[in-house]
Structure 1
Amino acid sequence: MRFNRFLPTLVLPKVVLPAIVIAAVTGSGLSNGHAQPAGGREAATPAVPQSRAEIALSFAPVVREAAPAVVNVYSLQKEVDPFYSNDPILRRFFGRQQPRGGSALGSGVIVDPSGIMVTNAHVIKNASEIRVGFNDRREAAAKLLLRDTRTDLAVLQIEGEGPFPVLPFAPPASLETGDLVLAIGNPFGVGQTVTQGIVSATARTQVGIADQRFFIQTDAAINPGNSGGALIDMAGRLVGINTAIYSRSGGSIGIGFAIPAEMVELVVSSAKDDGVVRRPWFGAKLETVTRELSRQLGLDRPAGAVVVGLVDGGPAERAGIRVADVVTAVDGLPVTDTDSFAYALATRGTEGEAEITFQRAAKARTVTLTLERPPETEPRDTRRIAGRSPFAGATVENLSPAVADELNLDVTTTGVVIARVRARSPAQRLGLRPGDIVLRVNDAAVETTADLERVARRRLRYWDLAIERDGRRLSVMLGG
C-alpha cells in the first residue's frame, strides 16, 4: 500500500456531469400491515415510496450551492537548465535558454468573498505562476499568501473583483462517523466532479501524509486531481480539504483522507493575519502510550500521550503537569496519541486558555493551560555558511522553542540547527537537510551559530562531523 498525493497527468476539457440521483427507501414509520414482532417489538419493514421526492432523493440542491466555490488550480513550474545558465560561453553561442515549463493540476476552495481560497501545498509546489478555473469556464490569476508544508495547505488570493462564491466552514466537532459527505474536485482533469460517501473516521492519526497527522477518512471516491478540493456535509458546509488516498494502483479504493476544517480555518486566519502559522507552545515532550507503557503506568487501555520531558518554566510546568502524566483530552477533545494531541492543541490558537485533562497515579485531573506562542529564548542569530567547508550553502540558526516549532523538532532540543540548504551546494551534496542538528566538528563542540561559522572558515585536513537527525546520531568523515 502507498499514499498518493494527487499529481495529475492530463488536462481535458470540462464535461457536464449528470446530477447524482439515488433511490432511497427506508422504514420511516410507515407500515404496510405486514410487520412481524421480534423480541417483543414490531420489526420495521421497508415502506413503499409515497411521493416523487422519496423516489428521487437527490444531492443536486447541495451541489448547486457548493460547486461554484470549488475551482481548478493550474500551476506552472518554470525551470532553466543550470548547465546553460551558468556557462557564459554557451550563453554567448546558443543565446538565452527558454525556461522549461511543467503544469500541475489540482483543486481549490474559495472560503472568503474577497477571493481567498485554499488548496494543498503540494499542488502549487515550485509554482512560478498560478491560475484558477471556475466551474463556468472563467479563469483568473492567483497569488500565494501562505504555504504551510506541515499541514500541506496553501492559501491563495484570486486576482479580480469580488464578491466570489464561498463555502462556509462547518462548526467545530459537528462531523460524526457515518455522516454523509460529498467530495467535489477535478479528478484526472476531466472537469468538476462530485462523488458521495460517508465519514469512515473523524480522527485518523499515524497516517504519515503530512507533519500535522490528523485526518478525516472517507469512502467518497477521491482520485488524482481532487487534491485541494472540498469535502462537504449535507448542509453544504466545508468539513475538510481532500489531500490523499490509500491505494495500490493510484486510483481510489474507498480510503481517502481530508484535512479537517478546523485546521483549514486556522491556516486561513494566519494568512489573513501576518502570513505565518503560529501554534501554541506546550513546553513538554510527549510520547504515545503503547501497550507496554499502559501496563507500566497502570492504565486500563493504551491511549493518550505521556509526558517524558518538561521545559523549565514552560506552560505545561506552570500549569502543574509533571513527567509521567498521561494527557487524555484537550478542551474535551479526546487524545489518543501524540498526533491527536498536536492537532487538538494547535486548533486552540495562541491566545486564551485550554483545559488539559490527564491521569496521574490512576486519577483523572484537569488543569488550565495558558495558550501562548513559543518564545525565542535564545536569539536565532541566522548565518549562511560560505567558504569551502562541507557546510557551505547551509543556513543555520540557534535552537529555541520558536525555531524548534517552526522546524517541527523536539522543544527540549538545544544547539545549532540547519534551517535551509541551497540547491547544488556542498551542504546539499553532503546530504544535509533542514532540521539536522550540528553537534560537533572534529574535537570542537558546536553550541552556537558563531561557533560553526568560526570552524567552517578553517582549512582542515579532514572533517569529522557529528549530526543529529530524527533523534539519531550520525557520524561523517570527509577529507579536507
Structure 2
Amino acid sequence: MKKIASFIKFLFLISVVSIGIFFSKSVFCSDKNEVKNNSQHKDYNLSPVIKKILPSVVRVITDFSNFYHGYCYDSSYQHKTDILSSSCTRFSKYNDHILKNLMSIKKVNPTIITNAQSSKLGSGIIIDSEKSYVITNYHVISHASKIVVSLTDGKEYEAKIIGKNRKFDLALLQLINAKDLPSIKISSSDNLNVGDPVFAIGSPYNLKNSVTLGIISYLERIVNSRSIFDNFIQTDAAINHGNSGGPLFNIKGELIGINTSMISSSVESGNIGLGFSIPSNSVIRFVKNILKYGKINFGRLGISVSTLSKSSIDELKLPLKKSAVVVNFVNKNSAAEISGIKVGDIIVSADNKDIEDSYSLRRILINYSADDTLALKIFRDDSYYDISLELKSYNPDSVYSGSLHYKLQGAVVSTYNREKLLKDIENKKIEKFYLPDVEGVRINRLLEKSFIKRAGLLKNDIIVEANMKPVKDIKTLKEALSTNENIIVLKIIRYNKLLFKII
C-alpha cells in the first residue's frame, strides 16, 4: 500500500509541474506576441504622418539690398572732420557730403557705389489654406525687399508681410495668388511634457524636407535672462541653419512650436543637441493680435511692482509661503486702478500661477492682449482677495526711433506735447524757439555717433511730415514711414524754421 501511495504522489507532482510549464509557456508566448505587436504599433511609425504634413512645410527665401560706399580710412591721421573710429568701414550712399569731406584730406580710398545683393534662407509652415497664411521667424524676413515661398512640390509664390514682431521673432506672411494650399492642425503647447517625442521639418543648409527626431528636453526655457519674451521649448531634435521659422511637431503631426534658434560652439557649427522653439500658444496669440490690431497689442495692468523676498516676508511676519511682488505705484485710469488695486497690495498669483518676482509677472502679462481678462490673487490687510480685471492697451509716451524705421536708428522720440513741455520752461524766449503750436513727433535725445545724427537731425527737432504725409503722433509717423523702405523724406521744424531732410 505504501508503494502505491508513493506512486500516486509521484504522478500528482508530475502533473502539477507539467501544467505549470504549459501555462508558463503560454504566458511567455502571449507576452512575446504582445511585445511584438507593440513594437509594430502605428503610433511609432512616423512615415504616414510625415507624408501627410510635409506639403504644408515651406522654404522662405528673402532678398535684400545693401547700398554703400566702400572705403578705408587711415585712423592715424587726426582731423576735425574725422568721424570714424575704425580703420575700415562702410557708409550710406545718402551721406555723399561726408564722404567728400573725408576725401578732401586725401586719406580715403573710395570704391564705386555698390548694390550688394544678399539673400537669406529659412523655413515656414502654412497655417491657413484658404487665406494662404504662412508663419516664419522675423529674423528670416527682416529688411527683405522680396520674399519668395517655395512649396514641397516646387511651386513658388511671392509673399507679402501681414505682420511681424522682432521681440517675439515671428512674422505672418500671405502668399500672393496661391490657392488650394495644405495646412496643419495646431495643438496647445500647454499639453506638453518633458520627454514627449517631437520632430522638426525644415531646410537646414538648403537641404529641403529634412526631418529630425528627438524629445522635449525642457519647457519654458529662458535663454536670455534679460528678455521677458523667452519661453522656449527646448528639444534635442537637430535644428541647424535654415531650420529657422520651420515647424516642430508632436508625434501626431500637430504643430506645437516654431523653431527659432540653436546653441553651438561657433557661428559655423551645427546643432549640438540644444534647439529652441516658440510655443504654439505664443504663435496663436501673435496671429490673433496681428489680424485684429495689425500689431502685438499687449495688455497692461498699469502698475509698478518690486519683489518681496521670502526673508522680507519672514521679517514682516506675513503669512505667505513664498516670495511675491508688492505694488509700488498705480497709474491713473489704468486697469489696476479701475479694478481696485492699491499701493501696498501684494500680488501672490496671476493666471493661477505663483508670482515670485516682478520678472515672472511680466512673463505672464506678455501672453495677454488688450481687452483680455486676467485673474489675480492679492494679499491685503491679512486677507486674500480674488480680482478679475480687463487689461488695457499700451500707448507709449516715447519709443526708440529705430523701431519705426531702420534708417532712424539712434534716437528716442515722442508725440509732441506743447502743453506738457510748457510746464518745464520758464524762459519765454526758449518757448518761442522750441515750442511751436503744431502737431508732430519730437526728438527727445539721440546718440552722438548714431545714424539719425549723421543724417542731420538734432535734438528738439519736430517731425511734422514724413513721405509727404502729415504726422500727428508716433502712430501716424510709423504709418507714413512704412510707405517707403529705402528712402525717407521728412519735413521738420527747427527753431521755428521749416526744413526738409532726405535720408
TM-score by length of 2: 0.62
The CA distance in 2 between the partners of 1:311 and 1:96, in whole Å, is 55
1:440 is aligned to: none
2:141 is aligned to: 124
1:272 is aligned to: 291
Are 1:261 and 2:273 counterparts? no
2:362 is aligned to: 342
Are 1:424 and 2:451 counterparts? yes
Percent sequence identity is: 28
The CA distance in 2 between the partners of 1:210 and 1:31, in whole Å, is 61
Letter of the 2:160 counterpart: K
Question: CA offsets, 1:324-356, max 9 Å, x none?
Answer: 544343333454554543343333332252211
The alpha carbon displacement at 1:167 in A equals: 2.2
TM-score by length of 1: 0.65
Among residues 290, 297, 305, which one is paired with 1:286 in the alignment?
305
The CA distance in 2 between the partners of 1:253 and 1:357, in whole Å, is 42
Question: CA offsets, 1:151-203, max 9 Å, x none?
Answer: 11111111122232122221362223332222222222222222222223332
Flag the 1:329–1:52 CA change in 2: closer, same or farther, 3 A. Answer: same
User: Residues 160-309 of structure 1: matches in 2 within 5 Å?
Assistant: 160-171=177-188, 173-205=190-222, 207-208=224-225, 212-249=229-266, 250-287=269-306, 299-302=320-323, 304-309=324-329
The alpha carbon displacement at 1:55 in A equals: 9.4
User: Residues 23-422 of structure 1: matches in 2 within 5 Å?
Assistant: 48-50=35-37, 53-54=40-41, 57-82=44-69, 85-86=93-94, 87=96, 97=113, 99-113=115-129, 114-171=131-188, 173-205=190-222, 207-208=224-225, 212-249=229-266, 250-287=269-306, 299-302=320-323, 304-335=324-355, 337-360=357-380, 364-375=384-395, 394=411, 396-398=413-415
Kept in 2, the 8 Å contact 1:149–1:210? The answer is no
Higher relative contact order (CA 8 A, sep 6+): 1
Flag the 1:306–1:65 CA change in 2: closer, same or farther, 3 A. Answer: farther
Letter of the 2:141 counterpart: I
The CA distance in 1 between the partners of 2:118 and 2:277, in whole Å, is 26
The CA distance in 2 between the partners of 1:246 and 1:95, in whole Å, is 38
The alpha carbon displacement at 1:394 in A equals: 4.2
The CA distance in 2 between the partners of 1:422 and 1:228, in whole Å, is 34
The CA distance in 2 between the partners of 1:31 and 1:357, in whole Å, is 61
Q: Secondary structure at the match of 1:80?
A: strand
The CA distance in 2 between the partners of 1:162 and 1:31, in whole Å, is 60
CA RMSD for the aligned pairs? 4.5
The CA distance in 1 between the partners of 2:60 and 2:232, in whole Å, is 22
Flag the 1:285–1:51 CA change in 2: closer, same or farther, 3 A. Answer: closer
Q: Secondary structure at the match of 1:50?
A: helix
Q: Which has the higher helix share?
A: 2
Structure with greater Cα Rg: 2
Flag the 1:244–1:338 CA change in 2: closer, same or farther, 3 A. Answer: farther
Structure 2 residue ranges without an equivalent (≥5): 1-23, 70-90, 101-109, 403-407, 418-441, 460-491, 497-503
Flag the 1:327–1:339 CA change in 2: closer, same or farther, 3 A. Answer: same
The CA distance in 1 between the partners of 2:451 and 2:246, in whole Å, is 35
Question: CA offsets, 1:186-239, max 9 Å, x none?
Answer: 222222222222223332236358552222222222222211111122232221
Structure 1 residue ranges without an equivalent (≥5): 1-29, 35-43, 385-390, 401-414, 433-453, 459-480
Kept in 1, the 8 Å contact 2:412–2:443? The answer is no
Flag the 1:329–1:397 CA change in 2: closer, same or farther, 3 A. Answer: same
Letter of the 1:57 counterpart: Y
The alpha carbon displacement at 1:306 in A equals: 4.3
Letter of the 2:40 counterpart: A
The CA distance in 2 between the partners of 1:218 and 1:363, in whole Å, is 42
Q: Secondary structure at the match of 1:247?
A: coil
The CA distance in 2 between the partners of 1:81 and 1:335, in whole Å, is 50
The CA distance in 2 between the partners of 1:211 and 1:53, in whole Å, is 44
Flag the 1:221–1:115 CA change in 2: closer, same or farther, 3 A. Answer: same
Kept in 2, the 8 Å contact 1:212–1:339? The answer is no
Q: Which moved more, 1:167-176 or 1:277-286?
A: 167-176
Flag the 1:32–1:419 CA change in 2: closer, same or farther, 3 A. Answer: farther
Question: CA offsets, 1:271-296, max 9 Å, x none?
Answer: 32342210111101234565655655
Kept in 1, the 8 Å contact 2:400–2:411? The answer is no
Letter of the 1:64 counterpart: K
The CA distance in 2 between the partners of 1:218 and 1:381, in whole Å, is 35
The alpha carbon displacement at 1:359 in A equals: 4.2
